[in-house]
Amino acid sequence: MDIKNLTITMLMAFIIVVIIGPIFLPMLHRLKFGQTVRDDGPQTHLAKNGTPTMGGIMFMIAITITVLFRAKLDSDIFVGLVCMLGFGLVGFLDDFIIIKMRRSLGLKPWQKIAMQFVISGYVAFYQYTSSPAASKIMIPFTDKFLDLGILYVPIMMFIIIGTVNAVNLTDGLDGLASGITAVVSTFFVAFALFVAKDAGVATFAAATVGGCIGFLVFNVNPAKVFMGDTGSMALGGAVVAFAVLTNSVLLIPIVGGIYFAEALSVIIQVTYFKKTGKRIFKMAPLHHHFEQCGWPETKVVFIFWIVAIILAWIGVVAGF
């Protein structure tokens, strides 16, 4: 797989999303799959009430079709798709329950974590048993590897679940999660192609880049559709699949630094509030803090995109 073919893969996924969009959006309107914005969120977001959600289905379809047509269908690709679609299904059930069954919290926490546990366990166990060297993960900025041995599966499950939920928390502004994931996926295209020498993962990542950029056509401010938990959890599943399948999960906190800054801001906010009754951030996740500081939504998204690009280049130094 060369750069030309990977570019074709990106374009294919992009075009599929752009074609699906005008068909899918009216369907979401008819089904009344509209977003309900929290009253305790930024007041500027109240105007978004009723905007169709669950739009992540669009790029999930595009990525899956593109990968099936463009990649050699081996067990790695199958597991990668299971990771993306499995976590996407968890998000879909959460969205569906909230919207159609009028339950504010969607899936119960134990239901959500149980499903995430099963998917992450499957992916981690597959990788652990795929080769004798599978438990060795690369250490960024070095040419050394860390052999996790028998601890590989539980540690990897923790990383997978943490990453997916971090990506989920990043989805809060128009174009934020899709734009950042396009950048992160572009990094993994290059890493899989030039370092890991894994054409399948490179193709999968390229399809994800195309799908995310295609979705941005409908998701940039003012968004015509939101991806919902359906899309954000699917993207989290895709990103972590790239890293697990190339034994490079320690690169995710670097390249996906925005994801983890968002998750860390929530952890810090909740922990500090429970201990002191006070808040460190004006609002969490982090993107809402900057909104509350007076930044327009478009500025927050643009700055976060730029930071994501810088982190991706740092990832190049760390991983190449």
Residue 168 assigned ligand-binding role: yes
Q: How confident is the model at residue 98 (pLDDT cuts 50, 70, 90)?
A: confident
Instruction: Say what the pLDDT of residue 31 is.
Output: 76
The radius of gyration computed from the CA coordinates of the chain, to the nearest angstrom, equals 19
Nearest to 184 by CA among 3, 312, 273: 312
Cα–Cα distance measured from residue 116 to residue 89, given in angstroms and rounded to the nearest whole number? 10
The pLDDT of residue 103: 61
Contacts of 135 (CB under 8 A, 6+ apart): 128, 147, 148, 149, 152
Q: What is the dihedral of CA 192, 196, 197, 198, to 10 degrees?
A: -60
Q: Is the pLDDT of residue 44 over 60?
A: no
pLDDT at 141 over 90: yes
Instruction: Say whether pLDDT at 188 is over 90.
Output: yes
Distance CA 229, CA 89 (A): 9
| 36 vs 249, higher pLDDT | 249
The pLDDT of residue 43 is above 70: no
The model's pLDDT over 278-302, given as tens digits with 9 standing for 90+, comes to 999 999 999 999 999 999 999 999 9
Asked if 167 and 177 count as a contact pair (C-beta separation under 8 A), the reply is: yes
